[in-house]
Amino acid sequence: MTLRPRAGVTMAEIVVAFAIIAFLTLALVHFFLRLSLGSAKGADQTVAFEYGEHLLDVAVGQSPAQWNTDEVVYALDSHDSSSQTTYYSRLSPLLLNPGDNAMGDLYRLDLEVWWWPQGSGAASTRSGMGRLSLRQHRSVFVENQK
């Protein structure tokens, strides 16, 4: 009896090939999902930065008595009109030159902005979200009105 060479592939080889393809497909899908999450987080950070810059610009144009140091809540569309992100901010002024200065007072305005996405597509946990806040600073010289 002579042995003839086999033609075709075995079932085990097919199962192994499908397992390798499935693993590579899942890795690729995971990569694109993480890329999408990073893009959404970048959009949130950009909106938070611009929102913070606007708040600091408004504060610079006001007198220290008008500075709002309470927590401010504002909902903005950072991705599209169906998913809003709630942004929170708090302004903390610090007098840098205490005492009687004849020219005026120098303040450092510290602004913290933090956010959390709302809506149907929002994440329900902070897992994998990273840092969801930023800090901005501005120095302001307020002339004495004497």
Which residue in the block uniquely carries the two structure tokens 């693993």? 23
Question: pLDDT digit string (tens) for 48-81?
Answer: 999 999 999 999 999 888 998 898 888 877 677 7
In degrees rounded to 5, what are phi and psi of residue 82?
A: -90, -15
Identify residue 60 by its one-letter amino acid code. V
Identify residue 144 by its one-letter amino acid code. N
Which residue in the block uniquely carries the two structure tokens 């499935």? 22
Pairwise CA distance, residues 76 & 32, whole Å: 26
Question: pLDDT digit string (tens) for 91-133?
Answer: 999 999 877 777 888 999 999 999 876 554 555 555 566 788 9
Sheet holding 133-143, edge to edge: 72-80, 83-95, 104-117, 133-143
The answer to pTM > 0.75 is no
